[in-house]
Chain A
């Protein structure tokens, strides 16, 4: 167990943006929420999976919806409390710890804000090892753990409790509800026991994002190449270096879908990379050949500062480096690929793994 303080939050935010692989929402808002919650409620306890009692009740906290909407309509702060309380009321017992369902992007940090607000510890784990756009895209689904009972709350004070047949239904119903809630809501979902958490979750994701953030900070302070620092901590591979030549986007049912075209620079001078995204960067093609695809992570970094650039912020003229980062092993199984492989997202591509995995 250790205490997470206001000044630690910055590192989490930076690393969460990297694991967001273009999506997951700008952690900036999450960072501010966590900071304000810690300022008011004191430091948050971060505990390892092994510190969790087998019969503890663990619930995931997340922002559900569109990053564009979140960057405009900021939370009231009461949403997550309402969502957790409604699960507690339904199960008629206290929630012992919060956890992240999605370690990448905003939802890598939201549990820290939730922990501080609710006065409960946060488990150092997540259920993706990255960011994904849909609720069923978690390792819990691979272990048969249902997302429901799930509760969603909006800033107006509406709370919805869902009980569904399976996690895909949860996604479907939650998605249409969140549109009516203004494309942004806070959710409490995947209630599970400590024992389930230990088998189903990806251990250490929050420490990983924190160490990515710290590595970038140190590299910058010592004038070393921060992109190398990211590569080292994440075992990433450089796939491209270039300038954003065009970004096409459309928002459909709360998702920012689109495609960015990068014109190569330096060693990639005459090459073109096309990155297709649906919030997250999902497939990248270099000169028409598949370079990397989901479930491996596609991370676009500012060529000079290693600042991760979300797909929503990609703009004409940016100079970027594209890193591929190997995903967690659970996703490379046939079941994992069926859930989050390129074909699930509608891309005509077969997954080819990048070398190695994060925790092998």
Chain B
């Protein structure tokens, strides 16, 4: 049996799955320490299912914690951004395209040093070890614990980044170092941005990984745990602590894959209504459709492809108020305090959940508490929610053709009528914990990263060979052969090598074989 956990901004959900069956599930507010929320959710599902902790083989965790930290500018640590580029690059130093508040949060520690490569493998300038030792001394003086190192053309030649890292370590042995070529691909600013964000999240990542481990330990669950990555595949705890940025898109990926799994529908629109926001996206062949441009996180360009999701600042915990004759819902919410502040829970704040209960869409808390609510306000609120969801669904569709609409998330009770442009409204079983289910049904990946000389092998042959091998690797790692698909193909011409050399990276992913 395996456990899927979703640690969101509002709720922590856990599901226990036996094969494709959801055996037990539980939803509980996320706690500031993370650990106690997870422990509470785990206890509940273990008690409900009576499963012994020893029966748990794997724990898969999806979390939006890191991406939220960037968006909310919280828990980020100061970072020294060191770029090996001089004399190039001075006009656009690291973080030049960042929002001011995020740059402030990281402390403006920017260092440019000589180095980097040309497109053809020549050095722009030699690495200046004395210069780097000077930077290291300054980093130590400023007591910065995390650095991001980028170098021009490092995806083609990573040597300078690696050498700079070892020079820095000589001065500061316990320094946390993120190298840009480990994180991203071609495009210096985007790769560097992502590396800097990763460096700013390293401390948090270590803390979170420890609290996951602690929660599992408290319940004597001795299974390995994994974190969901952007593309729905898993990474182990050690790797996750080093590369928190790889979880950035896992929230929408898990919820949409969970929706596809629970409903058995692979081509549909998905509306995920959570506590504070509603995400609308489109499933194509069981996967979220991705954006075609570099994904932006908290106003920063990264070079990740992200699920194309439209977020509305409205969910079950959103505040409902009448102002200037009109009804307003969100973006402010009572968040995880829904169970103390909402009217149906004896509080004094009118929330979207109260409105749904008043209209008889759900029985939560004490319905009597909302019986006297103004009928018109209730109807207008639900119409407004419906209209915003319908507009979002329409915007995210790629054609006018009607499609099934799957609603998931605890707040999906707010959708009171079939959505315009839907052939069918699907509310799958366990819709409230689709995210955690998405984490539990994690994908298995296989990746090939190899340089081919296209003078010796045709591009078609090289591509076919890498595709086959990526698929083979995914299957060997435990993927169901029938479900394996090629998810990503990237080609980087390496013009400095003779023979029309090209670096091919192919990633295949598939579902865990039953």
Instruction: For B116, give its contact among A73, A77, A250, A319 (CB under 8 Å).
Output: A73
Does residue B246 face the partner (Cβ distance < 8 Å to A)?
A: no
In the complex, A261 has a CB within 8 A of chain B: no
Q: Which residue of B lies closest to A251 (CB)?
A: B493
Select which of B119, B454, B493 is within 8 A of A182 by beta carbon: B119
Q: Report B-chain residues with C-beta under 8 Å of the C-beta of A162.
A: none
B91-109 near A? 1/0 per residue, CB < 8 Å: 1100011000000000000
Considering the complex, give the chain A residue whose CB is closest to the CB of B400: A266
**Complex-state Cα separation, A249 to B97, whole angstroms:** 29
A266, B400: Cα distance in complex, Å:
9
Q: Indicate whether A250 sits within 8 Å of B493 (C-beta atoms), given known contacts A73-B118, A183-B119, A317-B290.
A: yes
Known interface pairs A74-B85, A74-B189, A75-B91; A302-B293 also in contact (CB < 8 Å):
yes
How many angstroms from the CA of A28 to the CA of B91 in the assembled complex?
Answer: 14
Say whether B88 contacts A318, CB under 8 Å: no
Interface flags for A149-175 (1: CB within 8 Å of B; 0: not) read 000000111000000000000000000
Q: State whether the Cβ of B89 lies closer than 8 Å to any Cβ in chain A.
A: yes
CA distance A54 to B459 in the complex (A): 54
Contact (Cβ within 8 A) A157 B87: yes
The answer to whether B89 and A156 have CB atoms under 8 Å apart is no
- Whether B237 sits at the interface, judged by CB under 8 Å, is no
Tell me if B124 counts as interface (CB < 8 A to partner A).
yes
Closest B residue to A29 by beta carbon equals B92
With a cutoff of 8 Å between Cβ atoms, the chain B residues found around residue A305 in the complex are 291-293
Let me know if A71 and B188 touch, CB within 8 A.
yes
Bound together, the chains give a CA A222 to CA B398 distance in angstroms of: 18
A126 CB to closest chain B CB, in angstroms?
23
The reply to whether A32 and B119 contact each other, CB–CB distance below 8 Å, is no
In chain B, positions 484-504 with a C-beta closer than 8 Å to chain A are: 486, 488-491, 493, 495, 500, 502
Least CB distance from B222 to A in Å reads 40
Interface residues of A in 56-110 (CB under 8 A from B): 66, 68-69, 71-78
A78 to B308, CA, bound (A): 39
Are the C-beta atoms of A223 and B395 separated by less than 8 Å?
yes
B426 located at the interface, meaning its Cβ lies under 8 Å from any Cβ of chain A in the complex: no
Asked if residues B398 and A156 are in contact (CB atoms below 8 Å), the reply is no
A36 interface residue per 8 A CB criterion? yes
Contact assessment for A318 and B292 in the assembled complex, using a CB-CB cutoff below 8 Å: yes
B391 at the interface (CB under 8 A from A): yes
Q: B96 touching A36 by the CB < 8 A rule?
A: yes
Please tell me if the beta carbons of B96 and A32 are within 8 angstroms of each other in the complex: yes
Inter-chain contact B459/A248, CB cutoff 8 Å? yes
Is A309 located at the chain interface by the 8 A CB criterion? yes
B355: CB under 8 A from chain A? no
Which one of A77, A155, A254 has the highest number of Cβ atoms from chain B below 10 Å of its Cβ? A155
Closest to A317 in B: B290
Majority secondary structure, B binding face: loop
Contact A77 B85 (CB under 8 A): no
A156 near B188 (CB under 8 angstroms)?
Answer: no
Which size bracket describes the interface of B in this complex? 35 or more
- Is A36 in contact with B500, judged by CB distance below 8 angstroms? no
Which residues of chain A come closer than 8 Å to B90, judged between CB atoms?
75-78, 155
- Asked if B289 is at the interface (CB within 8 A of a chain A CB), the reply is yes
A142 interface residue per 8 A CB criterion? no
Q: Tell me if B324 counts as interface (CB < 8 A to partner A).
A: no
Please name all residues of chain B whose beta carbon is closer than 8 Å to the beta carbon of A157 when the two chains form the complex: 87
In the assembly, what is the distance between CA of A71 and CA of B308, in Å?
A: 24
Q: Is B160 an interface residue (CB 8 A)?
A: no
Contacts of B224 in A (CB 8 A): none
Cβ of B153 and Cβ of A73 under 8 Å apart?
A: yes
CB distance from B352 to the nearest CB of A (A): 22
Q: Which residue of A lies closest to B293 (CB)?
A: A307
From A182, A247, A304, B122 is in contact (CB under 8 Å) with A182
CB of A66 within 8 A of CB of B119, answer: yes
Q: Does B364 contact A (CB under 8 A)?
A: no
Q: Mark B129-169, 1 if CB is under 8 A from A, else 0.
A: 00000000000000000000000110000000000000000
Which residues from A are CB-within-8-Å of B186? Answer: 68, 71-72
Q: B241: shortest Cβ distance to chain A, in Å?
A: 29
Q: What is the distance, in angstroms, from A271's C-beta to the closest C-beta of chain B?
A: 15
Which residues in window 121-160 of A have CB below 8 A to B? Answer: 155-157
On whether the beta carbons of A223 and B391 are closer than 8 Å, the reply is: yes
Q: Are A74 and B91 in contact (CB under 8 A)?
A: yes
A233 at the B interface (CB under 8 A): no
Instruction: Check B489–A316 contact: CB distance below 8 A.
Output: yes
The verdict on B399 contacting chain A, using a C-beta distance below 8 Å, is yes
From A71, A182, A223, contact of B118 by CB (8 A): A182
B187 interface residue (CB < 8 Å to A):
yes
Q: Mark B389-418, 1 if CB is under 8 A from A, else 0.
A: 001000110110000000000000000000
| B512 nearest CB across to chain A (Å) | 23
Interface string of B471-488 (1 = CB under 8 A from A): 000000000000000101
18 pairs from A and B in contact (CB 8 Å cutoff): A28-B97, A32-B97, A36-B91, A66-B119, A71-B187, A72-B186, A72-B187, A75-B89, A76-B91, A247-B491, A250-B500, A250-B502, A266-B399, A304-B395, A315-B292, A318-B292, A319-B292, A319-B398
- Can you add 5 more A-B contacts, CB < 8 Å, to A71-B188, A182-B119, A302-B293? A32-B92, A73-B118, A155-B124, A182-B124, A302-B292
* Interface of B toward A, CB cutoff 8 Å: 85, 87-92, 96-97, 116, 118-120, 122, 124, 152-153, 186-189, 289-293, 301, 308, 391, 395-396, 398-399, 454, 459, 486, 488-491, 493, 495, 500, 502
List the 6 closest A-B pairs by CB distance, nearest first.
A77-B91, A155-B88, A182-B118, A251-B493, A74-B89, A76-B90
